[in-house]
Amino acid sequence: MSRILEHAGRYAYALGASAYLFTLGPFSARHRRLLSHVARHFGYRAPGSARPALPEVDLYDLVPPATRFQLREPEEREGGVSLYDLVVIAAIVSDLRPSASLEIGTFNGRTTLNIAANSADDAVTYTLDLPAEGLGDAKLPLDPADPGMIVKPGSGALFAGTELAPRIRQLFGDSAAFDFGPYRGGIDFVFVDGAHSREYVLNDSSVAMELLRGGRGIVLWHDYAGWDGVTRALDELYRSGGVWSGLRRIRGTTIAYLRVGDGEHA
């Protein structure tokens, strides 16, 4: 009887909270995030958006279950990855132990910090960002929501001043115009999370492939099946075959995964 009462109490509380969430909720960033979780949980796709085509894999298809990793700044923030997305990125980096990583799209540096924390002590993590003053210089069309993340007070606040900052190198520029020459063929892990239009994701994906050391390594993309331009671009690449046929979506996340070189195709 007491268990039924406990459930009933929780149900009534959740009902009241839901009434608040669905009326005043959209005025708070934290509640907007919860609303998107609810919509996604129930299979929401924006009208006209692409149905994701990538086959799904579990994290443990990609890394051993005993993989140990560090998590820094676990609290979710607007414009960043979810907590489970961060877990997945940390576990994959920790298992790969890259000597050099490159992220496209720094924002507050939360994922940069976690890439650096899970790499070897002598590894270097590069992170490229388009700062607010570069907004007008973007060479390719942006997604309408991109300017909201480009125009911000600064990049990398979450790693600045930490003990990992000396292992992180900040780069600034537009990923469609930046000279990646010095990094080409020297990167083991790439995280693509810059502009979200189809055009930028296609550009950044082809950059990622050129960056890989000896054509081997791991590329992750954020916002697959969460942002239409990302979904369309990656599905298009997947359907084009060849190396792209190894693209996978990691279950429970908006992360797309590609391992290139030996051990590819999870």
Contact status: 171 vs ligand SAM (CB under 6 A): no
Question: Which DSSP symbol is given to 57?
Answer: E
Contact status: 211 vs ligand SAM (CB under 6 A): no
Q: Which stretch binds ligand SAM (CB under 6 A): 28-36, 194-202, 232-240, 251-259?
A: 194-202
Size of the site for ligand SAM (CB under 6 A): 25
Map residue 77 onto helix, strand or coil.
Answer: coil
40-99 positions binding ligand SAM, by CB under 6 A: 79-81
* Separation of alpha carbons 105 and 111, rounded Å: 10
* Separation of alpha carbons 66 and 170, rounded Å: 32
Contact status: 228 vs ligand SAM (CB under 6 A): no
Helix axes 198-211, 228-240, angle to 10 degrees: 50
Contact status: 235 vs ligand SAM (CB under 6 A): no
- Are 260 and 189 in contact, with CB atoms under 8 Å apart? no
* Separation of alpha carbons 210 and 144, rounded Å: 28
Residue keyed to tokens 């890394």: 63
Residues in the chain: 266
Q: At its nearest, how many Å lie between ligand SAM and the CB of residue 87? A: 13
* Separation of alpha carbons 104 and 204, rounded Å: 8
Q: At its nearest, how many Å lie between ligand SAM and the CB of residue 158? A: 8
Contact status: 229 vs ligand SAM (CB under 6 A): no
Q: Which stretch binds ligand SAM (CB under 6 A): 17-25, 32-40, 64-72, 169-177?
A: 169-177
Residue keyed to tokens 């300017």: 147
Contact status: 130 vs ligand SAM (CB under 6 A): yes
Q: At its nearest, how many Å lie between ligand SAM and the CB of residue 240? A: 22
- Out of 188, 193, 228, 235, name the contact with ligand SAM by CB under 6 A: 193
* Separation of alpha carbons 87 and 93, rounded Å: 10
Contact status: 168 vs ligand SAM (CB under 6 A): no
| Paired sense of beta strands 100-104 and 56-57, if any | unpaired
- Out of 50, 59, 168, 195, name the contact with ligand SAM by CB under 6 A: 195
Q: Which stretch binds ligand SAM (CB under 6 A): 144-152, 160-168, 225-233, 253-261?
A: 144-152
- Helix H or strand E encompassing 102: strand 100-104
Q: Which residues in this chain contact ligand SAM in the complex, by CB under 6 A?
A: 79-81, 103-108, 110-111, 128-130, 138, 146, 149-150, 174-176, 193-195, 200
